[in-house]
Amino acid sequence: MSLAPSLSPAVSSEREASLLASVPTGLLIGGEWRDASDGGTFDVHDPATGKVLATLASATSEDAVAALDAADVAQAAWARTAPRVRAEILRRAFDLVIERAEDFALLMTLEMGKPLAEARGEVTYGAEFLRWFSEETARDYGRYLTTPEGKNKILVQHKPVGPCLLITPWNFPLAMATRKVAPAVAAGCTMVLKPAKLTPLTSQYFAHTMIDAGLPAGVLNVVSSSSASGVSGPLLKDSRLRKVSFTGSTPVGKRLMVDAAQNVLRTSLELGGNAPFIVFEDADLDAAVEGAVAAKMRNMGEACTAANRFLVHASVAQEFTRKFAAAMGALTTGRGTDPNTNVGPLIDAGARDDVHALVSAAVDAGAVAVTGGAPVDGAGYFYQPTVLADVPKDAAILGQEIFGPVAPVTTFTTEEEAIKLANASEYGLASYLYSRDLNRLLRVAEQIEFGMVGFNAGVISNAAAPFGGVKQSGLGREGGSEGIAEYTTTQYIGIANPYGS
């Protein structure tokens, strides 16, 4: 996702209004858009201005159960639908998302704040899950083999796991939805999708696009709500639900894991991260600075993959920090619809205050703000792109997700120390290594406990790659050939010797 400013002219307020008017505001249940059973609604805001963008129906627990009713009714026929049919629906959905790319990008910029150029990047990334899984649909192979004794046969087949609850976060409103919906469609599962209440408009528009692509009624149900637990609570207790796939914070993921244990649900969790960005003394420093800006500033730092701790060899730390601070200080903060903007607002006032509290505590503990270090005055929840040098190794900012445009830099002197520092976290999602020595990169990758490692690359997410973490960063993988396996169960059929003896 590019951090370059958008080249297109600023978006007119008429264009914003007509797009917002085309987003369905109801709950999608059994192929129909309807009001909440109690008539309840909630507002969606623009984080750059604080203004209300739209008012959506807010699903109740009864609505959530009605959505599962619809998913359950649709499941059997959907599981029997020819893989080619499911593949072609996904392929049409890909084409439609690309055709509507400007709509999706603008919606994400409006409700989430990211600059338009980045939102366009998310459309490309998010749409690719539809195309990738359309291609995977017809290739979910089983196997047939003879038992080692040489008589009986073993047949292994994959079946859809069944109705799924999909819960998505606010930071990547399109990609987090397509990363779950596409493999579920490919596997033949029906779904209840609960988007984040801060950014549900993209999911509403995406669901409408899936229907336009030919998805049968009841396969995808969408229950946006101001009460997340009101939706998830009754569904996790319902024996018709077979899987929960959650992307969000580690504390909420843990709670859902406990609730999912009641029915021993298949559970996929994509949780928080605390990515180390390690710059060795033999790295190409200019490439490392470019990668550092990308790994830190994608989505204003509001990404689970965001570089959170810059571990730099002491011999190059000064030069790296100087160049990195110059690049960060040159970024322009503003509303995402402004073509000059490359850093949008944070999602809300609480998020901005949390980021500032971490920065202030680090500075009090001895860190130096080489650039930035404060919120931006005025409307919206903006924070200055910030580089902190001399951050003490025990500072709180190195131990938790910052989720903002702040880069703390600390130093190491040996490879062993870098590995130890990198692993000193309960998280294990993304990590980034910069060195010219491939043997060193491979050696370090083997010893660090992270689900994903970038070699001289600041952005590594790709629909064809298995995305996911170890330790408290989660369970399961999304994307790649692993992605569809999260939505299937394996059935083994033992066959008596067909020769009869």
The C-alpha atoms of residue 485 and residue 341 are separated, in whole angstroms, by 40
Q: Which of 47, 162, 173, 272 binds ligand NAD (CB under 6 A)?
A: 272
Q: Are 466 and 482 in contact (CB under 8 A)?
A: yes
Nearer to ligand NAD, 158 or 471 (CB): 471
Residue window 390-429: x/- pattern of binding to ligand NAD, with contact defined by CB under 6 A: -----------x---------------------------x
Please report whether residue 169 would count as binding ligand NAD according to CB under 6 A: yes
Distance CA 222, CA 180 (A): 13
Q: Does 260 bind ligand NAD (CB under 6 A)?
A: no
**Annotated catalytic residue, options 122, 302, 304, 401:** 304
Is residue 362 a contact point for ligand NAD (CB under 6 A)? Answer: no
Distant-in-sequence, close-in-space partners of 330: CB < 8 Å, separation ≥ 6: none
Interaction pattern, residues 290-329, with ligand NAD; x per rule: CB under 6 A: --------------x-------------------------
CA atoms within 13 A on the CB side of 76: 3
Q: Is residue 171 involved in binding ligand NAD (CB under 6 A)?
A: yes
Residue 304 annotated in active site: yes
Report how many residues bind ligand NAD under the rule CB under 6 A.
27
Query: Which is catalytic among the residues 118, 270, 302, 486?
Result: 270
Q: Are 453 and 295 within 8 A, CB to CB?
A: no
- By CB under 6 A, name the one of 151, 159, 197, 323 that touches ligand NAD: 197
Residue with smaller CB distance to ligand NAD, 316 or 422: 422
How many Å separate Cα 435 from the centre of its chain?
28
Cβ contact 308:461 at 8 Å: no
- Which residues, at least 6 apart from 357, have a Cβ–Cβ distance to it below 8 Å? none
3-state secondary structure of 81: coil
Distance in angstroms (rounded) separating the CA atoms of residues 134 and 304 = 26
Q: Does 196 bind ligand NAD (CB under 6 A)?
A: yes
Is residue 170 near ligand NAD by the rule CB under 6 A? yes
97 binds ligand NAD per the rule CB under 6 A: no
Amino acid identity of 256?
L
DSSP string, 144-191: EEE-TTSSSEEEEEEEE---EEEE--SSSTTHHHHHHHHHHHHHT--E
Residues near 166 by Cβ (< 8 Å), separated by ≥ 6? 177, 180, 181, 184, 191, 192, 193, 194, 244, 245
Chosen residue from 41, 249, 360, 423 binding ligand NAD by CB under 6 A: 249
- Residue from 140, 270, 338, 486 touching ligand NAD (CB under 6 A): that is 270
Q: Is 84 exposed, middle or buried (0-12, 13-18, 19+ CB in 10 A)?
A: exposed
Q: How far is the CB of 430 from ligand NAD (least distance, A)?
A: 9
Q: Is residue 189 annotated as a catalytic residue, yes or no? A: no
Q: Of the candidates 41, 157, 229, 481, which one interacts with ligand NAD according to CB under 6 A?
A: 229
Q: Taking CB positions, which residue lies at the least distance from ligand NAD?
A: 248
Point out which span in 126-134, 141-149, 165-173, 437-445 binds ligand NAD (CB under 6 A). 165-173
> Which of the residues are catalytic?
270, 304
Q: Give me the residues that bind ligand NAD (CB under 6 A), please.
A: 167-172, 176, 194, 196-197, 228-229, 232, 247-249, 252, 255-256, 270-273, 304, 401, 429, 474
